[in-house]
Copies of this chain bind each other. A is one copy, B any other.
Amino acid sequence: MNFWLAVFRQLGRNLRQTWTSQLMTLITVSLSVLIFSFFYLIYCNMLSAGGRLGNDLRLIVYLEEEPGPEMQEQLRRRITDFERVEKIRFISPEQALDLFAGQLGQNRDLLTDVPSDFLPPSMEVTPLKNLRGLHQVSLLADFLDTLPGTIKVQYGQEWVERFYAFTRLLSIIVLLSGTLLVLTATFMVSYTIRLTILGREDEIELLRLVGATNGYIRTPFLLEGVLQGCMGSALGLGSLYLLFQWTLNHFSGPSILNIFSLTFLSLPILAIIIGTAMALCGIASHISMRRALRI
């Protein structure tokens, strides 16, 4: 009881008396959290935008002849044996011609003379959304090519490759920057707290000399660190939310961001970020304290 009373009195005094450097630390923590979570937010939205962009990826398999219902069943089975896919659709030469006519628009009457089996029959394979790495898709394409009766497999290789290269590059960037930023944030937090404690070395030394126990000396600083982590990260995430809203309002014209329906970080993620910041600040405080106490 007495102990906690003393600790909270001390904590209150610290916060009141060194509020400028407290503010500095708070801003630093906020900025670190802001930068990190900003980056993370971008990453998440990239991923989901990437998912949506690849939504209509499908492989067209041109076949030698139209498969009967039995053959269709067999093809379906062989494909799903190799890899689970989302949808398989068979297109007869007539359907293909219709589609082609639709593409030609007003010129469709040019096709009246053409035999209905002028275009080859085909099969449209839509891969699962979670199996869309470039490698997997091309593996699937290679497999489809080995099926009996396949003439050619087409899936806009060029665009798909580009898109996945883009996504891959983004992942690398996010990974590297994320690591860098977590490092920086940790470094800054511990640096700032060390400096705060450095500014109170006199007080810590005196407390030791007049017979304060380690717990008495450390706990207020520890609580302070945790408090800093909590408030700083909350502030950082708050600013991020404001920034996010601002971006939405200013750039979300229907023409541009419609496929990027941006979403904010989910509640559990927010909780994890705040919790981590608190733990990190607490640990940084603790380490700095250990140093100071060794004097």
Chain A interface residues toward B at CB < 8 A = 24, 27-28, 31, 34-35, 38-39, 42, 49, 53, 62, 104-107, 110-111, 113-115, 118-120, 134, 151-152, 159, 161-162, 164-166, 168-169, 172-173, 176-177, 180-181, 183-184, 187-188, 191, 195, 243, 247, 251, 255-260
**In the bound complex, do residue A177 and residue B39 qualify as a contact, i.e. CB atoms below 8 Å apart?**
yes
**In the bound complex, do residue B259 and residue A162 qualify as a contact, i.e. CB atoms below 8 Å apart?**
yes
Contacts of A169 in B (CB 8 A): 49, 251, 256-257, 260
Q: What's the minimum C-beta distance from A168 to chain B, rounded to whole angstroms?
A: 6
Q: What's the minimum C-beta distance from A112 to chain B, rounded to whole angstroms?
A: 11
**In the bound complex, do residue A106 and residue B151 qualify as a contact, i.e. CB atoms below 8 Å apart?**
yes
**In the bound complex, do residue B31 and residue A176 qualify as a contact, i.e. CB atoms below 8 Å apart?**
no
- Identical chains bound together, number: 2
Q: What's the minimum C-beta distance from A20 to chain B, rounded to whole angstroms?
A: 11
**In the bound complex, do residue B31 and residue A251 qualify as a contact, i.e. CB atoms below 8 Å apart?**
no
Contacts of A107 in B (CB 8 A): 62, 120, 151
> Which 9 A-B pairs rank lowest in CB-CB distance, beginning with the nearest?
A165-B256, A107-B120, A31-B184, A105-B152, A42-B173, A168-B256, A110-B118, A172-B251, A195-B195
